[in-house]
A and B are shown apart, each in its own frame.
Chain A
Amino acid sequence: MAASCLSSRSDQVKSALDTAVKSRGLEHKCKVKGVGCMGLCAAGPLVETRGQTRTMYQGVTPEDAPAIVASLDAQPVERLVLPLDMPFFAGQRKIVLENSGEIDPERIEDYIAAGGYESLVTALAGMTPQQVIEEVRKSGLRGRGGAGYPTGLKWSTVQKASSEDGKYVICNADEGDPGAFMDRSVLESDPHRVLEGMAIAAYAVGASKGYIYVRAEYPLAVKRLKEAIRQAEKIGLLGIDICETTFSFRVEIRLGAGAFVCGEETALIASIEGNRGTPRPRPPYPAQQGLGGKPTLINNVETYANIAPIIRNGGEWFAGIGTEKSKGTKVFALAGRVRNTGLIEVPMGITLREIVFNLGGGIPDDRKFKAVQTGGPSGGCVPERYLDMPVDYESLASVGSIMGSGGMIVVDDSSCMVDVAKFFMDFCRSESCGKCVPCRVGTVHVHELLTKISRGEGTSADLDLLERLCDMMKSSSLCGLGQSAPNPVVSTLRYFRHEYEQHIHQKRCDAGVCDIHQPEQVLAGVER
């Protein structure tokens, strides 16, 4: 019952199931529950029946409801059955998404019944802020927004920053990478988890006010967050004197107005302050001078979503998952040319091959795998030769991509890498805030050059200029947007240079994506 499935009429499926249950007089025996995202977009909407046995149905329409209800005491509806042991589900390890697809996101009771807010109470009742931070530090959790800064270190910096009149805790929910929907799904499927993480963070760093900066393009997430805040305040888990302690924490929602750059922390703060959403140079970092000049903790949705389990099970438990430097799990939005598109949560260190070919089910239509694009417009393309590389912050960086926030787009031979690079540069060009010169003008020139090359009008000199511009943008742009905007170009130039050269020298696009003008050849073919 999250946004993607609602577009496939999952709400109507639910009411049809309700009706079917009523018409069979099963109201007292059978409960129909709307839950958050179950992950497998490719087969949505999914319906799971639980009784003597568990059965999962895929691609359910409202018309299928009577048959599903009728099957409860009988044989499953064969044509809709989705095997529960399929690698897409079996290969996952769920921490952030443990409640997604399990609980009703609109009911705090469901969250509490699943162990929710237990960690907040534990922290408030029996732990000092230092102990909370120590637990987070021990967990080895790193920022899930993309950069991977150690969360415990960030928290302790904010805690140590002195402030006489308050600190702030901000949740960055301005998810903007094309193809990424991890944060939206978490907010829509389990909003209380994020609130709990923020409250624990506020207790740890000594803040009493929090903001969730969420993009206005996520109306359902906003609605569920608002409802969640209202419910939590009503029973005293947010607001003044939480759980009858002296700790108070109020959360407000701020809507982003559609600027990708506002996901950059200093631009986000400027936007909350009511100013033009443009970044400013760091230092000072928000941990020292953030919102209103006060120490501010900014973490991403997924980072906060990891906090409650860490406090519940201990930092060491979390540190036992993943690789040496990248702990825990990571949620990825698996999209593009792969059979099982959807949301997955996998332990750090899993290989890309495992993700694409096992969980993802491989490439449809027997096409040939070409690359995985991670990190969106700030990331890069990882070619086939690195498929067996573990997925962690350092490994991805070493091959010229980034972990990013979790967008993972699979590319097959029906895509042209020049076109892919052009797509992301077009995105950065229109999302550049315009404050610093390298990003404002550089993105335009790089996009123009890529367009020229994709038309078959490029020259070898253009490739040199492209590299020169990318290097300048990377080294001299003001914020992360401009510094990382060249990454898709640089990484495709590194691994797929032959495609660029083919466009330039042979005026050919093997994928058949680019519209190459070949005036001479056309003329030559005309008989005079």
Chain B
Amino acid sequence: MKKQVQIKTLQIEGQDVSATGEQTILQVALENNIQIPRLCYVEGLSAVGACRLCMVEVKGGNRLLPACVTRVAEGMEVTVFSERLNAYRKLVLEMMFSERNHICSVCVVNGHCELQTLAMKHGVTHITVPYLHPRVAVDASHERFTLDHNRCVLCARCVRVCAEIEGAHTWDFKGRGIETRVISDMNEAWGDSETCTSCGKCVHVCPTGALFEKGKSVAEMSKRKQYLPYLTMMRDEAKA
């Protein structure tokens, strides 16, 4: 027997949309060209709900819900942009800028950075909290790529793309809280990694300049986003 697809109708930002019951608010919004701010989400990778930028309001509840992992429901009324949500997003972005050393003017992805773009869209003209200025390292041991922890926002895109698509699981995290760091293998230098296939997927899903190709100078590195849709295809193939 063929599984029946349940169709739900709902409203996102006042727009009537339809969806299958399996879809998330974010997926449906994107289908209908409603851009919900997001950073850790990449289509094709598992959603983790970590950046909290895609939080939306759903009528009838005071709780904010992350659009990337919240399934649609019949008659839902979703608000994506409100004063409250914008204020939270702005503050969350400030949190990201303050926790590491993001200096756009000397960054390889200046002008092509998702964090920078989000900050501009949300009017983050300055940071109201003190910068934490942590001393963090740069790992340039890989022959083609560099990992600069100063620009990492711990979105886990690299971790997920490596484990879920490439199947290498070179990246993971160590530490906790503010001390959390992306590590390769068992916290070894990237260049010494025995699992890394040097495929470069992590570099191109990275939203900031934390992962970049060597030989690129300020503002020269743009991520090849055009290949991202293939992630979904590869994932579906792997499932089938």
Contacts and interface: CB of A to CB of B under 8 A. Distances in A.
B154 interface: yes
Contact of B52 (A465, A468, A477): A477
Interface string B16-52: 0000000000000000000000000000000011111
B172 interface: yes
B60 interface: no
A472 B95 CA distance: 11
B55 A476 contact: yes
Contacts of B50: 435-437, 478
B4 interface: no
B230 interface: no
Interface string A460-488: 00000100110010011110000000000
Nearest to B62: A475
Interface stretch (B104-112, B175-183, B218-226): B175-183
Contact of A445 (B129, B153, B177, B180): B129
Interface stretch (A48-56, A106-114, A292-300, A424-432): A424-432
Interface residues of B, number: 34
A259 interface: yes
B48 A440 contact: no
Nearest to A482: B52
B69 A281 contact: yes
B23 to A, nearest CB: 14
Contact of A472 (B63, B91, B176, B177): B91
A236 interface: no
Nearest to A446: B129
B209 to A, nearest CB: 18
Size class of A's contact patch?
Answer: 20 to 34
A448 B98 CA distance: 13
A432 B153 CA distance: 16
A452 to B, nearest CB: 9
Contacts of A476: 52, 55, 64, 88, 92
B239 to A, nearest CB: 15
Given A281-B66, A432-B178, A441 B52 contact: no
B162 to A, nearest CB: 15
Given A429-B178, A434-B173, A476-B52, 20 more contacts: A430-B177, A432-B176, A432-B178, A434-B179, A434-B180, A437-B96, A438-B92, A441-B96, A444-B178, A445-B98, A445-B129, A448-B130, A468-B91, A472-B87, A472-B88, A472-B92, A475-B55, A475-B63, A478-B49, A478-B52
4 tightest CB-CB pairs across the interface, nearest first? A434-B180, A441-B95, A432-B177, A281-B49
29 contacts: A429-B177, A429-B178, A431-B176, A432-B177, A432-B178, A433-B176, A433-B177, A433-B180, A434-B175, A434-B177, A434-B179, A434-B180, A435-B154, A435-B180, A436-B50, A437-B50, A437-B95, A437-B96, A440-B95, A440-B178, A440-B180, A441-B98, A441-B99, A444-B132, A475-B63, A476-B55, A476-B88, A478-B50, A478-B66
Interface of A: 259, 261, 276, 280-281, 283, 429-438, 440-445, 448, 465, 468-469, 472, 475-478
